[in-house]
Amino acid sequence: MNRRTFLRTTAAAAGGTLITSRAADSRGTLGQGEFRYRVVPDWGVLNAETPVNNCHGMVSDREGHLILLTDHVKNNVIVYDKQGRLVHKWGSIFPGAHGLSIVDEGSREVLYITDLNTHRVVKTTLDGELLNEWGWPLKSGKYTREDDYRPSWTLHLPDGGFFVLDGYGRDYIIRYAADGSFQEILGGAEGGIAHWGPHGGMIDGRNAAAPSLLIAMSDQQHLLRLSLAGEKLARIQLPGGNPRQIRLHKGHFFCAHLADNWPKDRESRGFISVLNADLRVVSNIAGTPPVYDAAGELLPMHHQEEIFHHPHDLVLDHEDSLYVAQFASGQTYPIKLERI
């Protein structure tokens, strides 16, 4: 954990309302109601010198750069400016690169990367200097071998502590203190967490007195709210979707659905849901309009326009533009959509 390595490679530089309109009109508009978008053609498309494989995580920094995580070991981290031009790139040691989080430590911003293949979480500077790393949580007593641990994402508390979601391993949620020490382990089968569930998520700190974990439960087609102690507080059903990550932006939640009814239909395209403060879907970008029945239950959703191909993560900028990183999409670069 004290090992330091420099990895950078410099490069040239609306709840309950039935909405009947189509997700995309003749002008290429996606979504419904107040949340309608248009694709920005060719944003972020680079050349063979900067390849991607699966695009997994995406965040933005203070300077407005868009930071992409891919599992292509020629350049695991690709940094764009807002025009989609390459700023720099680094990283060749994350063959299973998956989750990407950015944390503001006051004097600097840092990245947390999860790697499925090397079974670890890594903390780096924005330029790729390795600051810390955490392997499989032997101290938890829940693992007997490294291969059972495949962390998918990290969720961060304001005090510097964080949680790791073992979304591809044994579905535990591991909590670490601000100093990086192991604290406790939550969830797993005995905690009632279904397999292929806790994929991505966030700390919902809107109620500062009672922050909670809001977890995208992928194949289970719902969001799960937990207390910081692991107590189940609520389940938000998202039938027909496959929530991989959720982000809060200006009072609304944006959720990337990998595909329709994944894994039953692995060829379906996927879409983005916008949820209000009460976690009711108000718009589906490239998806069918959200419909709630008389009992207030959301009816099954599915993609409607052939825009996305397995959305995996997303980020929004100060102008409300939306950037989407995609998994298993034929090595495509991120998609930018501008809000209309």
What's the confidence (pLDDT) of residue 107?
A: 96
Banded model confidence at residue 185, pLDDT cuts 50, 70, 90: very high
Banded model confidence at residue 27, pLDDT cuts 50, 70, 90: low
Task: Map the chain to HEC letters.
Answer: CCCCCECEECCCCCCCCCCCCCCECCCCCEEECCEEEEEECCCCCCCCCCCCCCEEEEEECCCCCEEEEECCCCCCEEEECCCCCEEEEECCCCCCEEEEEEEECCCCEEEEEEECCCCEEEEEECCCEEEEEECCCHHHCCCCCHHHCCCCEEEECCCCCEEEECCCCCCEEEEECCCCCEEEEEECHHHCCCCCCCCEEEEECCCCCCCEEEEECHHHCEEEEEECCCCEEEEEECCCCCEEEEEEECCEEEEEECCCCCCCCCCCCCEEEEECCCCCEEEEECECCCCECCCCCECCCCECCCCCCCEEEEEECCCCCEEEEECCCCCCCCEEEEEC
Mean pLDDT (the chain) is 92
Higher pLDDT, 16 or 69: 69
| pLDDT tens string 283-321 | 999 999 999 999 999 999 999 999 999 999 999 999 999
| pLDDT tens string 220-248 | 999 999 999 999 999 999 999 999 999 99
Indicate if the pLDDT at residue 8 is higher than 80: no
| pLDDT tens string 76-86 | 999 999 999 99
Residues with Cβ within 8 Å of 144's Cβ and at least 6 positions away in sequence, in order, are: none
| Residue 222 C-beta-side C-alpha neighbours within 13 Å | 13
Indicate if the pLDDT at residue 15 is higher than 60: no
What's the confidence (pLDDT) of residue 262?
A: 86
Give the pTM. 0.93
What's the confidence (pLDDT) of residue 267?
A: 87
Residues with Cβ within 8 Å of 19's Cβ and at least 6 positions away in sequence, in order, are: 32, 33, 283, 289, 290
What's the confidence (pLDDT) of residue 45?
A: 98
CATH number for 8-12+26-339: choose from 3.20.20.70, 2.120.10.30, 2.70.70.10, 3.40.50.2300: 2.120.10.30
| pLDDT tens string 277-286 | 999 999 999 9
% of the chain exceeding 70 in pLDDT: 92
Extents of the domains making up the chain? 8-12+26-339
Tell me the backbone φ, ψ of residue 4, rounded to 5 degrees: -125, 130
Banded model confidence at residue 265, pLDDT cuts 50, 70, 90: confident
| pLDDT tens string 84-104 | 999 999 999 999 999 999 999
Indicate if the pLDDT at residue 9 is higher than 80: no
Section 213-224 average pLDDT = 97
